[in-house]
């Protein structure tokens, strides 16, 4: 599925730090201008000073012909030098000299008096400290105000608003597969487009629709497609965006979100991962004052207050519907659940086609082939596979993506990243080749096994070797015979080590754990034990509401526990013995395959068939069996 995650945020007011930074910059520039201007002015108006004694002497010598007395404290005039040039001078009157005027008149000095007016820079210099102090107090006041506003903004909705005008609309045609889900959601689209049709009949469209599906199946994309088809506003928020460290913020954000939705009606409110805030209340999850519970309570109240005439529909997505509060799922709230399942073969091919249009794919690449070879993959997995193939092609500097890059990308997703730098000791590598060959050969000996895809002893992820089979078709339930054959495949590696080396390694740990889990479920959950019968054991957790049980109860006696253990052991021993006998009867094939795998490190199904000399799967009694094995939802890794 393709998802252009284009959400446009609402215009946000500038934060206090931005405003404060601009204010500080203006203040700094103003202070710099004042300082530079004052310095420049001061340098341009400097007048040489002389002492009052020298001034009196110069008057007697006749070198001063005119003076100005400023405020009775300062004298400025022109002094004639010995060369006949006049230079300005200034002197201060140190005391009140009553004889000064008579002295100047006696020496024929022209006297004038002025009252000085302070310059702009002098005034600014005098008031600058007060201005700085005032600005400082203004900054404090603005900061307190901003903090108060920030506290008020904390409770506002953090929803992203998708603008249909600015961004490309997502339509149902952009969502590959999911036919049933789209049919369910078309009712919602029709209501948003033509509400009168339903109001006329007195029908009530569900105000809440819950999208349930595994991660990567396209729940968010479908929600956007509903908004795109109906051409209405789309508000997107995550369940984790509601709860903060401050009490009451979550409930406030819920109120703000629904108020915003009503103002933008008709609109769709989409809450992603609603289980983050909608978990069941009760014992084990905090008391009645828990912040998350307050947020959930407010959400329940808001959804109760919805009316169809409001033109607002709430969509939510989760992959854990089992943990949601029952009150959230009752009629009138999220009373309609739309299951978003993993894509089948046809849908996988459609999804691959959607993503293939964005890359340079060679014409020879068969997307149908890779759709069949990727059971259990979600839309996100398929998109990642196409992207990994494009990256591989770019690393190789080739013009188009070929089958080789697609195979490499698929194996990387299914089996993990190859750790080719890991160098195993020769003895350990031989035992690993023997182990994986034991797994691989079981695929050809068992009637209900899926076709083998590939076996490798190149370490991938945390495994030293991997054997993978891929089903030819999708399957949604499994038979007892199929499960027993899966156990034989899992014990194939253990049996090969025991047969060839009369010893076992820790490499069988994961195989044994998975086999034990399957056998235990066959006995306790699926009723596949002849000794125990069709019974289910172990009581699941009750919904955690009003203090119900939060632990799993045993629910059976010690005698029945012994019967269960014996039944599980019988199933495992049978599988282990079958795996051992299959390899013992075809030990030469085990030796051939093990040696070739040790040499080449990776083998595919066609290479193994050529080596062993058969084109169809064989059983342990050498009878020919058709290849129409039952498929599985996910690949078998061993």
Known catalytic residues are: 436
Can you point out the beta strands (E) in 515-609? 602-604
Q: Closest Cα partner for 188 from 268, 122, 81? A: 268
Rounded to an integer, what distance in angstroms lies between the CA atom of residue 34 and that of residue 28?
10
Q: Rounded to a whole number, what is the distance in angstroms from the first to the last CA of the chain?
A: 30
Cβ atoms within 10 Å, residue 62: 11
Peptide bond connecting 219 to the previous residue in cis, omega within 30 degrees of 0: no
Give 45: exposed, middle or buried? Use CB within 10 Å, 0-12, 13-18, 19+: exposed
Residue 255 contacts residue 302 (beta carbons within 8 Å): yes
193: left (phi > 0), else alpha (psi -120 to 50), else beta? alpha
Residue 483 contacts residue 528 (beta carbons within 8 Å): yes
Report phi then psi at 83, rounded to 5. Answer: -90, -5
Q: Are strands 208-213 and 602-604 parallel, antiparallel or unpaired?
A: unpaired
* Encoded tokens for 378: 């979600």
Q: Rg of the Cα trace of the chain?
A: 43
Rounded to an integer, what distance in angstroms lies between the CA atom of residue 129 and that of residue 391?
64
Q: CB under 8 Å to 270, separation ≥6 — which residues?
A: 220, 223, 224, 227, 234, 235, 236, 237, 314, 315, 316, 317
Q: Beta partners for 88?
A: 78
Residue 450 contacts residue 475 (beta carbons within 8 Å): no
Residue 494 contacts residue 638 (beta carbons within 8 Å): no
Residue 494 contacts residue 579 (beta carbons within 8 Å): yes
Peptide bond connecting 44 to the previous residue in cis, omega within 30 degrees of 0: no
Q: Closest Cα partner for 91 from 63, 59, 58, 50? A: 50
Rounded to an integer, what distance in angstroms lies between the CA atom of residue 402 and that of residue 421?
25
* Encoded tokens for 164: 């249909």
């Amino acid at each position: 599925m393709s998802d252009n995650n284009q959400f446009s945020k609402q215009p946000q007011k500038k934060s206090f730090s931005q405003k404060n930074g601009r204010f500080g910059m203006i203040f700094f520039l103003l202070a710099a201008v004042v300082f530079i201007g004052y310095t420049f002015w001061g340098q341009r108006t400097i007048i040489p000073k002389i002492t009052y004694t020298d001034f009196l002497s110069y008057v007697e010598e006749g070198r001063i012909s005119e003076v100005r007395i400023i405020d009775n404290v300062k004298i400025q005039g022109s002094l004639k030098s010995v060369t006949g040039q006049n230079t300005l001078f200034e002197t201060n009157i140190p005391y009140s000299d009553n004889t000064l005027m008579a002295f100047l008149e006696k020496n024929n000095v022209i006297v004038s008096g002025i009252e000085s007016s302070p310059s702009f820079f002098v005034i600014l210099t005098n008031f600058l400290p007060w201005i700085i102090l005032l600005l400082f107090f203004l900054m404090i006041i603005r900061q307190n105000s901003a903090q108060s506003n920030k506290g008020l903004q904390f409770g506002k909705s953090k929803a992203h608003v998708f603008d249909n005008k600015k961004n490309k609309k997502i339509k149902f045609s952009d969502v590959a597969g999911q036919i049933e889900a789209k049919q369910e959601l078309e009712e919602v689209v029709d209501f948003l487009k033509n509400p009168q049709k339903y109001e006329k009949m007195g029908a009530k469209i569900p105000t809440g629709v819950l999208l349930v599906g595994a991660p990567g199946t396209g729940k968010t994309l479908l929600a956007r497609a509903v908004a795109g088809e109906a051409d209405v506003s789309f508000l997107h928020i995550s369940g984790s965006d509601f709860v903060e460290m401050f009490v009451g913020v979550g409930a406030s954000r819920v109120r703000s979100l629904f108020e915003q939705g009503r103002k933008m009606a008709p609109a769709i409110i989409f809450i992603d991962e609603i289980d983050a805030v909608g978990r069941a209340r009760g014992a084990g999850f905090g008391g009645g004052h828990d912040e998350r519970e307050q947020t959930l309570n407010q959400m329940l109240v808001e959804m109760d207050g919805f009316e169809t005439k409001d033109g607002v529909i709430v969509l939510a997505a989760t992959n854990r519907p089992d943990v949601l509060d029952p009150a959230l799922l009752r009629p009138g709230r999220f009373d309609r659940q739309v299951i978003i399942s993993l894509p089948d073969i046809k849908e996988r091919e459609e999804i691959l086609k959607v993503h293939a249009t964005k890359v340079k794919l060679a014409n020879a690449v068969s997307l149908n082939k890779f759709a069949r070879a990727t059971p259990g993959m979600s839309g996100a997995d398929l998109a990642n596979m196409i992207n990994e193939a494009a990256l591989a092609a770019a690393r190789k500097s080739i013009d188009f993506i070929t089958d080789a890059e697609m195979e490499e990308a698929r194996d990387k997703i299914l089996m993990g990243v190859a750790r080719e730098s890991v160098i195993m000791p020769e003895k350990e590598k031989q035992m690993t080749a023997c182990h994986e060959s034991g797994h691989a050969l079981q695929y050809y000996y068992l009637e209900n096994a899926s076709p083998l895809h590939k076996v490798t002893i190149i370490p991938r992820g945390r495994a030293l070797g991997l054997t993978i089979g891929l089903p030819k078709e999708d399957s949604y339930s499994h038979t007892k015979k199929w499960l027993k054959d899966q156990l034989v495949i899992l014990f194939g590696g253990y049996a090969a080590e025991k047969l060839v080396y009369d010893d076992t390694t820790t490499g069988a740990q994961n195989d044994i754990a998975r086999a034990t889990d399957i056998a235990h479920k066959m006995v306790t959950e699926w009723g596949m034990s002849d000794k125990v019968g069709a019974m289910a054991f172990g009581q699941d957790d009750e919904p955690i509401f009003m203090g119900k049980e939060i632990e799993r109860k045993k629910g059976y006696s010690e005698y029945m526990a012994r019967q269960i253990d014996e039944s599980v052991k019988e199933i495992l021993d049978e599988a282990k013995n079958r795996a051992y006998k299959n390899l013992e009867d075809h030990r030469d094939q085990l030796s051939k395959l093990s040696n070739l795998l040790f040499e080449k490190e990776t083998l595919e199904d066609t290479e193994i068939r050529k080596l062993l000399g058969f084109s169809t799967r064989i059983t342990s009694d050498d009878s020919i069996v058709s290849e129409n094995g039952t498929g599985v939802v996910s690949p078998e890794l061993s």
